[in-house]
Amino acid sequence: MQLSRMKGFIASFFLAAALSAPALADANPALPGTLNFVEGNAAVGYQALTPKSVGSTTLEAGQTINTKTGKAEVLLTPGVYLRVGDNSSAELVNPSITDTKVALNQGNAIVEVDQLHKQNDLQIVDANSTARLMKTGLYEFDTDPAAVRVFKGQADVEVGNRMIKVKGGHQLALAEPTARKLKEKGFDKKTYESSDLYRWSSLRSQYLAEANVDADQIYYDNGWIGPGWYWDPFFASYTFLPGAGMLYSPFGWGFYSPAFFYSYGYPYYYGGYPYRVYGPTLYSGHVYAPHAWNHPMARGPVVAPRIAAPRMAAPRMAAPVGGGFHTFGGGGFRGGFTGGFHGGGRMGR
């Protein structure tokens, strides 16, 4: 009985949260260039960024985000996140959803690509090179010394008249005096995985997966009409809801569509108290997706107690920029969910 009452309370709470959204439900769409998280000292031009800037500040073409002792996360195309490290500067050259270009002018940045469509053209300019991100995965860019590093995925790097394919587990140092001497080489992933920006990006990816669980519950019966960026009030940022099925981020965190979420019982409840589970679903006493338990980053299900009635913000959602979901793979981080090209929608009241 206690469990039933708790479930009823939570369902009512989420319904009330969703239906409480005023006109802000249609405000501040998550366009490419939308600020999704910030900490420390960061600015867009001369405008200092604060947590209140999240979701309401969007870089226009030609605008630059700068950090000192601070970091920032910016949404690019649905399912793609740009994370800028300390003492760095990145310019949004072109914010088009089909032609997205960012120039790293100083410092370092990581790009997490959880979903990619053939219509997307993602380009990162670093020093004298332009890297096209060809697959879902994780990419790092440095300016001192200049390098393109691919943890997972594939980048086609154009330097001068050469096109160099950089596959997962390889990097391309750009300091050679001539393009003809450039060659991709393997690198020690563990060394770079201990860096501050990598660990920060991994944590952000985990938070976004947690936000996915919240948003699934909020939007399934109250405004979900397809894949896209959806505002999660508990995490005060955007997150990505796939159109169907599930996918994993390069860090191993799962992202679930609302339909999948409810079909396989996310989250499950134990001992009369609600818990979130970020990992394979327990279904009829069995693990639904056993391969996920063996994922090197998953390390089994992560269970966290749910807190009651956090401060609510008005739910928001992006303009329709979704797309179909067809395969497993990809995923994200705290504060942003995306789709592809033909989905999306707005939350009803």
Residue 155 burial (CB count, 10 A):
30
Give the pLDDT confidence score for residue 233 in this predicted structure.
86
Is 204 a residue whose pLDDT tops 60?
yes
**DSSP letter at 315?**
-
Chain centroid, CA 188 distance in Å: 25
Percentage above 90 pLDDT, the chain: 48
15-67 pLDDT tens trace: 444 443 333 334 346 899 999 999 999 999 999 999 999 999 999 999 999 99
Please write the tens of the pLDDT for every residue from 283-336.
333 333 333 333 333 333 333 333 333 333 334 444 333 333 323 333 333 333
Could you read off the pLDDT of 55-64 as tens digits, one per residue?
999 999 999 9
Helix (H) or strand (E) holding 263: helix 258-263
State the pTM of this model: 0.73
pLDDT-derived band at 193, boundaries 50, 70, 90: very high
Pairing of strands 100-106, 129-133: unpaired
Q: Which residues pair with 275 in a beta bridge?
A: 305
Q: How far apart are CA 260 and CA 248, in angstroms?
A: 14
Q: 215-268, pLDDT tens digit by residue? A: 888 888 777 777 788 899 889 999 988 877 788 899 988 888 888 777 765 444
What span, in angstroms and rounded, lies between the C-alpha atoms of 333 and 345? Answer: 21
CA 254, 243, 332: angle at the middle one, nearest 5?
30
Does the bond joining 320 to the residue before it have cis omega, within 30 degrees of 0?
Answer: no
Averaged pLDDT for residues 87-99: 97
CA 27 to chain centre: 20
As a whole number, mean pLDDT of residues 260-281 equals 46
Evaluate whether 134 touches 156 at the Cβ level (below 8 Å): yes
Round to whole Å and give the CA distance between 38 and 67.
10
pLDDT at 265: 56
The structure tokens 């405004």 sit at 223
- Does 78 have pLDDT greater than 60? yes
Q: Any idea which of 56-65, 99-108, 238-247, 270-279 has the lowest mean pLDDT?
A: 270-279
Considering only residues 256 and 71, tell me which one the structure prediction assigns the higher pLDDT: 71
Domains annotated for the chain, with CATH where assigned, are 33-197 (2.60.120.1440)
Q: What end-to-end distance do the CA atoms of the chain give, in Å?
A: 31
Q: Which residues pair with 239 in a beta bridge?
A: 230
